[in-house]
Amino acid sequence: MTLLTTLAQHVVRRPQRMALLEQIAIQGSITRAAKAAGLSYKAAWDAIDELNNLAEEPLVQRTVGGKGGGGARLSSAGERLVLLYKHLESLQAQVLQAVENAGDLQLLGRLMLRTSARNQLSGRVRAIQAQGRNDLLDIELPGGARIHAQITRDSTEKLELAEGSGVVALIKAGWLELSPLSSAADPQRNQLTGWIEQILPANDGPSEVRIGLASGQTLCALVAPDVLATQHLRAGDPVRAQFAANQVLLGTQV
């Protein structure tokens, strides 16, 4: 199964996201596309970030701050996904007509669980190093960036992971520690560098910081306002996101 097919199945289960992609192709604006798809502007950005992160190349190409809240258009991969989705949607209708036992569909739905982790990055296992009862996996992300994930040997076997396996790395937003590139990096932790696209303050609690990576993927971090002030981090600044190998959860595409 190709990654594009997996993405199409993902949006089959979340039709508003496909409606958003279709409206981006029509409207050329995230703000107008979100309104037409029945999503808030923030929900639209979250959806685009997740879809771009799961793809091998960005599905939506954006410019921040343009007329109407920023311009946007589908990449060639995004256009192919829309076409594939329409084909899967037709097949899905045929399958539903043939299903006799509704319980089978309910079971299938339970097997396709969503995750609360804000950051979902597609990647490929390049090496597995044994560390006692754990394994340290070297994972290559689109664009060539590398991260490490530490999981138990049982998890490696359960997920049937080997060199070359495709995985989705899940990282909770609260686990990311941000710092300017001028500060010293911790060589024992994962490092992903990019730039701050947006800082969304909260009335009470940490701010949501969106970080663009060179690959077109996006990270979301939850950072206390005083930490941002101390680190002198603002929108547009280059930034480093650090996190430990044991803070990376792994999933596989079935």
Which are the contacts of 184, defined by CB distance < 8 A and separation ≥ 6?
A: none
- 156 domain-assigned: yes
Average pLDDT across the chain, whole number: 84
pLDDT the model gives residue 111: 47
- 81 domain-assigned: yes
pTM for the model stands at 0.66
CATH number of the domain encompassing residue 163: 2.40.50.100
Residue 152 pLDDT > 70: yes
Torsion of the alpha carbons at 49, 50, 53 and 57, rounded to the nearest 10: -70
Residue 102 pLDDT > 60: no
Residue 158 pLDDT > 70: yes
- 253 domain-assigned: no
Tokens standing for residue 193: 């560098």
Tokens standing for residue 174: 């609260």
Residue 19 and residue 64 in one domain: yes
Contact 192, 213 (CB under 8 A): yes
pLDDT the model gives residue 110: 44
Q: What is the mean pLDDT of residues 152-164?
A: 91
**pLDDT band of 53, cuts 50, 70, 90:** confident
**CA dihedral sign of residues 164, 195, 171, 192:** positive
Instruction: Identify the domain containing residue 93 by its residue range.
Output: 3-111
Residue 85 and residue 104 in one domain: yes
Residue 85 and residue 8 in one domain: yes
Q: What is the mean pLDDT of residues 64-89?
A: 76
- Total domains in the fold of the chain: 3
Residue 105 and residue 41 in one domain: yes
- 52 domain-assigned: yes
- The Cα–Cα gap between 126 and 129 comes to 10
Tokens standing for residue 227: 């930490």
Residue 165 and residue 65 in one domain: no
**pLDDT band of 16, cuts 50, 70, 90:** confident
Q: What is the mean pLDDT of residues 169-186?
A: 93
**DSSP state string for 156-178:** HHHTT--TT-EEEEEE-GGG-EE
- 116 domain-assigned: no
Residue 51 and residue 67 in one domain: yes
- 251 domain-assigned: no
Residue 82 and residue 18 in one domain: yes
Q: What percent of the chain has pLDDT over 70?
A: 80
- Of the residues 76, 111, 146, the one at which a domain ends: 111
